[in-house]
Amino acid sequence: MHESERHRVILAAVQARPVATVQELVELTDTSEATIRRDIAALHVQGRLRRVRGGAEALTPPTQGNLVGRPFSVNETINIGLKRAIAKVAVDLCADGDSIIINGGTTTYQMVFHLVNRRCQVFTNSFPIASHLLGHSKNSVIVPGGTIYREQNIILSPFESDVTKHFYARRMFMGAQGIGPHGLTEADPLLIQAEQKLLNQADELVVLADSSKFRQRSSLILCKLERIHMVITDRNIRDEDRQMLEERGVAIRIAGPSDNAEEEVSPSVA
Amino acid sequence: MHESERHRVILAAVQARPVATVQELVELTDTSEATIRRDIAALHVQGRLRRVRGGAEALTPPTQGNLVGRPFSVNETINIGLKRAIAKVAVDLCADGDSIIINGGTTTYQMVFHLVNRRCQVFTNSFPIASHLLGHSKNSVIVPGGTIYREQNIILSPFESDVTKHFYARRMFMGAQGIGPHGLTEADPLLIQAEQKLLNQADELVVLADSSKFRQRSSLILCKLERIHMVITDRNIRDEDRQMLEERGVAIRIAGPSDNAEEEVSPSVA
DNA sequence: AATCATAAACGATCACAAACGATCATTTCT
DNA sequence: AGAAATGATCGTTTGTGATCGTTTATGATT
């Protein structure tokens, strides 16, 4: 990856997140620490970002923070590395030109960083995802119509959207509130409704769920396990959960935080 | 392949991708590195692209690019005070709780700054407007579905959206490319199509057009003057243009740049 | 609470590879 | 034939990655 391209990636990363670590940027750009440090130093003297120990941050403090680009409230800082690794595996499934659906969520949001150099057709109901891809990538971006809910930063509509009906993708990526023998579970009925509409518009369903999601189950079932083609999770998944998925024919991929990035553990759906 | 043809290819490549490497261009044009370097150097001094180590990139890299908070390209800086004054008059027409439609554009974008303390229901096809209102106000925001065009930062769809059809507003605000005896004119057929859909969803049509718009006319007619309920413009409007509007029953309001913000010059439609 | 131990982050240096610019030979078009 | 453009070669410059020692943060112990 070339210099100007790296700078784009780095700036995109810091603008979307309070701080981007050197390690994250190394994985994102597939270069060495030294190069990233040099890039950060250069961008720092250019006044395009602020250099901090461990990485870099955007110039604009969170005070001015315009919602977009600084999405999702507070929590979700601990598992961020995990989520990003999972998201990377998800994006690695995509090639330029693919049509994909990205359902809004904190885990799927991490996909945007890995998508900056792609040129996919992305349909998303997440306003932050759309915004970031618009500003920091060449991907084509399509959104459904509806009211934007600040709480989740998601576009929801009680009506059938013709845009949605006309968009068909090979893969749909989504997070989940919980996952269990009965299927994917979600907390909010409104979300269920919106997500089920999207489910009909894609062939393969890829679920991004860290291992903790296997212990959280909400009351509302979004879809059965059989509908899922692949689950991307982390190495802490319990054997019983893994077995449960395999019995239903769900492929599993393990995202490693850093060491070995990816590992196949069940027949691929290729 | 000839020189001018290569230049076309190179320019297309850098605009399509974030950055085009020399190697890529060599394969693309089936020439040597030296030639590509010479071409890049020539295009660089012509100001048609930016030369970077390893290749070339477009002048407006997506990094620095538009998007939220820095919407719309470059121009439009001179009339900004005028536009803001016009936008203020427009927002003053709105009360909390009103449902309004804001069609995307540089003039209507200025409305967001005056809307920060309002609590309206805003339907807009402008991504920057939606983004700004989401982040800096309590207004409820509704968008249509469709592809987001980076050029104009507008959401467009060839399909009928049910969201649009179910939203009905008292007022619709829009800018215009030009305005003349035949009506409002617009340059892009795609925009015409989108705007006409919106026209059906509002009672009153309020047009924000500084006086220079009366001299610019495009070939495509968006709607007749009779459809307009009010035009907000500046004090430089010519008498003949004012008369033209009054004869058609269009109310006129003059926005003062700073001194007296607003002035009634024809019977209000209130 | 202060100190120490450990790990992470940093800066500097060096070797290597890629990219570059200049020069010259070759081709192409008039 | 002559001018312009192209391609190849070579020396130079620049960016990159690895390794080193140093600095800084963290958290564990007393």
pLDDT digits (tens, 9 = 90+) for A156-179: 988 877 788 889 999 999 998 899
- The answer to whether residue B262 scores a pLDDT higher than 50 is no
R_g of chain B, CA atoms, integer Å: 22
Does A141 touch chain B if contact means CB atoms closer than 8 Å? yes
B3 CB closer than 7 A to any strand D atom: yes
d(C-alpha A129, C-alpha A136), whole Å: 10
Q: How far is CA B89 from CA A228, B34, B114, B259, in A?
A: 53, 59, 9, 13
Say which nucleotide is closest to residue B32, CA to C1' distance.
D7
Inter-chain CB proximity A5 and B18 less than 8 Å? yes
Confidence of residue A79 (pLDDT cuts 50, 70, 90): low
Task: Write out the DSSP string of B164-223.
Answer: HHH--EEEEEE--SEEETTEEEES-HHHHHHHHHHHTTEEEEEEE--GGGGT---SEEEE
Does B148 touch chain A if contact means CB atoms closer than 8 Å? yes
**Residue A199: how many other CB atoms lie within 10 Å:** 17
Q: Which residue of B has its CA nearest to A3?
A: B53
d(C-alpha A16, C-alpha A136), whole Å: 10
**Residue A265: how many other CB atoms lie within 10 Å:** 13
pLDDT digits 0-9 by tens, B24-36: 888 888 888 999 9
Query: What pLDDT shows up at residue A254?
Result: 92
Name the DSSP letter for residue A126. Answer: B
pLDDT digits 0-9 by tens, A31-56: 999 999 999 999 998 888 989 998 89
- The answer to whether residue A4 scores a pLDDT higher than 60 is yes
Summary mean pLDDT of chain B = 84
- The answer to whether residue A263 scores a pLDDT higher than 50 is no
Is the pTM here over 0.85, yes or no?
Answer: no
Q: Where are the alpha helices (DSSP H) in A32-139?
A: 33-45, 80-92, 106-109, 111-114, 127-136
Residue (of A170, A164, A167) closest to A206 by Cα position: A170
Of B19, B162, B164, Cβ closest to residue A2: B19
Mean pLDDT of A216-238: 90
Does B152 touch chain A if contact means CB atoms closer than 8 Å? no
Question: Which positions of chain D lie under 7 Å from any protein Cβ?
Answer: 5-9, 14-19, 24-25
**Residue B10: how many other CB atoms lie within 10 Å:** 24
Query: What pLDDT shows up at residue B258?
Result: 45
Does A117 touch chain B if contact means CB atoms closer than 8 Å? yes
Does B66 touch chain A if contact means CB atoms closer than 8 Å? yes
Does A150 touch chain B if contact means CB atoms closer than 8 Å? yes
Choice among A13-22, A201-210, B143-152 with the minimum mean pLDDT: A13-22
Question: Which positions of chain C lie under 7 Å from any protein Cβ?
Answer: 8-13, 18-23
Query: What pLDDT shows up at residue A239?
Result: 94
Query: What pLDDT shows up at residue B263?
Result: 43
- The answer to whether residue B264 scores a pLDDT higher than 90 is no
Q: Provide, as residue numbers in chain B, all residues whose Cβ is less than 8 Å from the Cβ of A157.
A: 162-163
For testing the chain B interface, which of A4, A64, A139 should be mutated: the one with the most B CBs within 10 Å?
Answer: A4
d(C-alpha A52, C-alpha A54), whole Å: 6
Burial label for A200, CB within 10 Å (0-12, 13-18, 19+), is exposed
Q: Cβ distance A152 to A184 under 8 Å?
A: no
CA–C1' gap, A54 and C2, in angstroms: 27
- The answer to whether residue B5 scores a pLDDT higher than 90 is no
- The answer to whether residue A68 scores a pLDDT higher than 50 is no
**Domains, chain B:** 3-57 (1.10.10), 80-264 (3.40.50.10470)
Inter-chain CB proximity B159 and A162 less than 8 Å? yes
d(C-alpha B243, C-alpha A161), whole Å: 43
Query: What pLDDT shows up at residue A60?
Result: 65
- The answer to whether residue B160 scores a pLDDT higher than 80 is no
Query: What pLDDT shows up at residue A250?
Result: 96
B32 CB closer than 7 A to any strand D atom: yes
Q: Provide, as residue numbers in chain A, all residues whose Cβ is less than 8 Å from the Cβ of B149.
A: none
Does A22 touch chain B if contact means CB atoms closer than 8 Å? no
Q: Please, which residues 119-138 of chain A have a Cβ atom closer than 8 Å to chain B?
A: 119, 127, 130-131, 134-138
Please tell me which residue, B225 or B76, carries the higher pLDDT value: B225
For testing the chain B interface, which of A35, A68, A138 should be mutated: the one with the most B CBs within 10 Å?
Answer: A68
Choice among B122-126, B174-178, B179-183, B186-190 with the minimum mean pLDDT: B186-190
Structure tokens at A57: 């941050």
Mean pLDDT of A79-95: 85
Inter-chain CB proximity A148 and B157 less than 8 Å? no
- The answer to whether residue B84 scores a pLDDT higher than 60 is yes
Mean pLDDT of B233-250: 93
Q: What percent of chain B has pLDDT over 90?
A: 47
Does A75 touch chain B if contact means CB atoms closer than 8 Å? no
Query: What pLDDT shows up at residue A59?
Result: 79
pLDDT digits 0-9 by tens, B122-151: 999 999 999 999 988 899 999 999 999 988
Does A21 touch chain B if contact means CB atoms closer than 8 Å? no
Q: Provide, as residue numbers in chain B, all residues whose Cβ is less than 8 Å from the Cβ of A146.
A: 142-143, 145, 163
Confidence of residue A268 (pLDDT cuts 50, 70, 90): very low
Q: Cβ distance A252 to A231 under 8 Å?
A: yes
Q: How far is CA A218 from CA A173, A187, A210, B109, B126, in A?
A: 20, 6, 16, 42, 36
Inter-chain CB proximity A145 and B162 less than 8 Å? yes
Chain centroid to CA B66: how far? Answer: 13
d(C-alpha A49, C-alpha A58), whole Å: 5
Chain B residues 3-22, Cβ below 7 A from strand C: 21-22
Query: What pLDDT shows up at residue B60?
Result: 66
For testing the chain A interface, which of B17, B25, B57, B148 should be mutated: the one with the most A CBs within 10 Å?
Answer: B148
- The answer to whether residue B77 scores a pLDDT higher than 60 is no
Please tell me which residue, A92 or A78, carries the higher pLDDT value: A92
Confidence of residue A73 (pLDDT cuts 50, 70, 90): very low
Which residue type, as a one-letter code, is found at position A210? D
Residue (of B33, B58, B24) closest to B43 by Cα position: B58
